[in-house]
Each structure stands twice: as structure tokens, then as C-alpha cells.
Structure 1
Amino acid sequence: MPKAYPYVGPKEIAARASGSVPGTVFSSADDLAAWVQAAETSRGRVTAMFVVDAAGRLRLADRRSEHVACAGGSPVLAAGEITLSIRAGRVVAEGVSNQSTGYCPEPESWPAVSAALAAAGVEPPEGYSTELSFRRCPRCDQINVIKDQLLECAVCGSALPMAWNLGPATEV
């Protein structure tokens, strides 16, 4: 069962994002290819922000936007960054991460990404190319990215919990 991750980032960012247009939904390879071609850089690829919404749909937005805006403020099944290019007329996912400090999705969110990419006509990679784990410090409330398996708050030095603890993720 997939989990739906609530927004856990700063309230000011959510407030700024409220009322903005959510990310574009993609459900066909042709629509996604047109978006990539319009957005791609001189290197022939585009890195974008993505979410998989609660309905399992892939949503993309400019990398400089916020995940909470891309999701329309709603909970997501996954969030992160994706690098796309077009090779031999097909959209290719060159890299996908779960890098979102607004939603902090667990690495276990990958199946939702894989299914959303497949539904949008993109063969998904085997998993996240960059996989992050997040924890909230119970002492100072800071969100931490876990590095080198060190469960220690980067701000106050307190021990971090073994399990994901960023919000009331619910099964959908």
C-alpha cells in the first residue's frame, strides 16, 4: 500500500505557494515529449521538480518552484527531482531523486514514481538514482537529511529516530 506524504516544510513556503497553479499532469508520452522539448536546455535535457499526486499522476514543474506548489498543497505519493531527455524520439528518465525537503518522502515511495512514469509513457529506471532519508529532530524540530547512516541532528547534535517521523503519512 502506498503512503501519502503530507507537506512538512516551512509554513511560509506553503503560504507563498497557495493559490499558485499546480504542476502539469502528464498521462501521455506525446504530451511529456512536447513539454521536455519546450523546457530542455542547451545540453539536451531538463531537470524538473516532480510530484506523484494522490491519484498516482506525474506532475512536473520548473525546478525553481516548490514541491508544495507543484502538488497544489495536497499530500503526495512521492516528490523529488527528475532529469529528462529525448533519445530516438522517446522521453528518457536519466535520473530521479526523492529530494524534497517539503514532503521528505521515504525511499520506499519509488513504486509510485515508477508507476506514474510508466503511465506517462516513460520506461522507469530501476529505482531512485539518488535516494535520501529524512528525519525530524525531536529536540529542535529541524528536518535532517541522513548522511552516512549517521542518525544525529546536524543542528543540535541530538540522536535522531531510526524510523521516518516527519508527519502523519497515511496509507491510500
Structure 2
Amino acid sequence: MSARGRGYRYVGPDELKTAVRPGGGGRRIGSAADFGSWIAERSAEELAEPFTFVVGTDGVLRLAPRRSEHVACADADMVLSAGEISFTHEVVFRRCPGCQEHNIVREDDFVCVFCGSDLPAAWNVDPDPTA
């Protein structure tokens, strides 16, 4: 087990655990590219629902369609966490050029909630230092 936290073993019905086939579990998501390729394979019906997830004792997220069993998503291994997860609308952040506070832009209203200054249309929270 990793030093990242306590691991939890599967405690449900034996028939679900014995049905798990090695390598047939959830997809390991170790990067944005992994997530992008996995999500692109999902149907519209799957995208409308939350997904089954586990975080393995290695700290890596694994995702599977909602109706998947957590024990299958984890390949019957111990986990740090398990549940359902949704990926909702994009959250747009901007740093105010006036007061330097970070803002969440809601409903395309690019105005700083702290000082009322206009927020830039382009991303500026962590600008590229080489640009």
C-alpha cells in the first residue's frame, strides 16, 4: 500500500469480485490526454450520467461507465477512494488586472466581483513566462 493513505479492500458480494477479469477494469487516467481519449469513446447516454471511479493505492484515478461495479473498476485491487463522479460545465477563471484577485467568470460576465474592473477575455491566471 502507498504512503498516500489507508487502502480499502472490497467488502461486497463474492460473486461480483469473482466476476472481475484481470485488465478489464476501469481506465487509468494519468493525464489530460488519457482523460481526453477515454471521454471521446463514451456515448451520449454515458456522458449524461456520472461515472464510476476509484483511486488506486498508487494514487491514480480509474474511470468506468456508471453501471460498472467499483470492484471491477479497480481490477479487484485495494483503493484509496471509490464513488461516482461527474464532469460538468467548464469553469472560466481570470485574474483581475486591477486588484489581482482571481475570479470565476459566470454567464460571460467578465467583470471582477471584487473591484468591478473589466476582466480580460484571454486566459491570464498563469501566463506563459516565456511569451
TM-score (norm 1): 0.45
Pairing partner for 2:44 from 22, 25, 41: 41
Match of 1:29 in 2: 32
What displacement does 1:38 show? 2.8
Choose which of 8, 11, 27 in structure 2 pairs with 1:5.
8
Aligned residues: 89
Task: Determine helix, strand or coil for the equivalent of 2:37.
Answer: helix
Matched, 1:50 2:53: yes
What is the deviation of 1:45? 4.7
Q: CA deviation at 1:27?
A: 1.1
* Cα distance, 1:2–1:78 mapped onto 2, change above 3 Å: same
How far is 1:18 from its partner?
3.9
Q: Note if 1:59 corresponds to 2:62.
A: yes
What is the alpha-carbon root mean square deviation over aligned residues? 2.6
Q: Which residue of 2 aligns with 1:70?
A: 73
Note the alpha carbon deviations across 1:102-144, whole angstroms, 9 max, x for none.
Answer: xxxxxxxxxxxxxxxxxxxxxxxxxxxxxxxxxxxxxxxxxxx
SS in structure 2 of the partner of residue 17 of structure 1 = coil
More strand by share: 1
Map 1:104-115; keep pairs closer than 5 Å: none
Kept in 2: contact 1:44–1:85 (CA 8 A): no
Quick one: which amino acid aligns to residue 15 of structure 1?
T
- Using the TM superposition, give the Cα deviation of residue 40 of structure 1 relative to its aligned residue in structure 2, in angstroms: 5.2
Counterparts of residues 71-110 of structure 1 (less than 5 Å) = 71-85=74-88, 87=90
> Shift of residue 59 of structure 1?
0.4
Structure 1 unmatched runs, 5+: 89-172
Greater C-alpha radius of gyration: 2
The 2-side partners of 1:39 and 1:69 are apart by 18
Identity %, equivalent residues: 39
- Write the distance in 1 (CA, Å) between the matches of 2:62 and 2:70: 10
Instruction: Tell me the CA shift for residue 47 of structure 1.
Output: 1.7
SS of alignment partner, residue 39 of structure 1: coil
